Amino acid sequence: NSFSKTEDTASDSVEAAKNASDKKEKLADQVMQNPQVLAALQDRLDNAALTPSSYIETLPKAVKRRIDALKQLQVKCAHIEAKFYEEVHDLERKYAALYQPLFDKRREFINGEAEPTDAESEWHSENEEEEKLADDLKNAVVIDEKAEAEETNVKGIPDFWFTIFRNVDMLSELVQEYDEPILKHLQDIKVKFSEPGQPMSFSLEFHFGPNDYFSNSVLTKTYKMKSEPDKTDPFSFEGPEIVDCEGCTIDWKKGKNVTVKTIKKKQKHKGRGTVRTITKQVPNDSFFNFFSPIKVSGDGESLDEDSEFTLAADFEIGHFFRERIVPRAVLYFTGEAIEDDDNFEEGEEEELEGEEEGEEEEDAESDPKV
- Give the pLDDT of residue 358: 54
Mean per-residue pLDDT, 299-305: 66
| Of 208, 204, 202, the residue nearest 221 (C-alpha) | 204
Give the span between the Cα atoms of 251 and 241, in whole angstroms.
Answer: 31
Q: Between the CA of residue 365 and those of 36, 42, 221, 359, 361, what are the distances in Å?
A: 18, 18, 54, 10, 6
Per-residue DSSP letter, 176: -
Comparison of pLDDT for 113 and 305, the residue scoring more: 113
- Give the pLDDT of residue 2: 45
- The SS3 of residue 220 is strand
Sort 135 into a burial class: Cβ within 10 Å, 0-12 / 13-18 / 19+. exposed
Give the span between the Cα atoms of 140 and 331, in whole angstroms.
Answer: 32
Instruction: Answer whether residue 78 shows pLDDT above 80.
Output: yes
Give the span between the Cα atoms of 62 and 70, in whole angstroms.
Answer: 13
Query: Per-domain residue ranges for the chain?
Result: 15-58, 81-115+156-296+304-341
- Average pLDDT over the chain, rounded to whole? 82
Question: Per-residue pLDDT tens for 321-367?
Answer: 999 999 999 999 999 988 777 665 666 666 666 655 555 544 444 44
Query: Is 81-115+156-296+304-341 assigned to CATH 3.40.50.300?
Result: no
Instruction: Answer whether residue 110 shows pLDDT above 90.
Output: yes
Mean per-residue pLDDT, 272-279: 78
Instruction: Answer whether residue 246 shows pLDDT above 70.
Output: yes
- Give the pLDDT of residue 365: 46
| Of 265, 268, 269, 259, the residue nearest 279 (C-alpha) | 265
Contact 186, 159 (CB under 8 A): no
Question: Per-residue pLDDT tens for 124-169?
Answer: 877 666 666 666 666 666 556 555 555 668 899 999 999 999 999 9
Q: For residue 126, how far is the Cα from the chain centroid? A: 33
The Cα diameter of the chain in Å comes to 129
b/e map of 284-310 (b: 16 or more CB within 10 Å)?
bebbbbbbebeeeeeeeeeeeeeeeee
Question: Per-residue pLDDT tens for 42-59?
Answer: 666 666 556 788 888 888
Comparison of pLDDT for 268 and 234, the residue scoring more: 234
Give the span between the Cα atoms of 243 and 137, in whole angstroms.
Answer: 57
Determine which of 28-42, 175-189, 250-264, 345-359 has the lowest per-residue pLDDT on average: 345-359
- Give the pLDDT of residue 300: 54
- Give the pLDDT of residue 251: 96
Q: Between the CA of residue 196 and those of 93, 188, 319, what are the distances in Å?
A: 9, 25, 20
- Give the pLDDT of residue 264: 81
DSSP-assigned beta bridge partners for residue 265: 278
- Give the pLDDT of residue 354: 60
Q: List the end-to-end C-alpha distance of the chain, in Å, as a whole number.
A: 64
Give the span between the Cα atoms of 291 and 286, in whole angstroms.
Answer: 10
Comparison of pLDDT for 105 and 138, the residue scoring more: 105
- Give the pLDDT of residue 6: 47
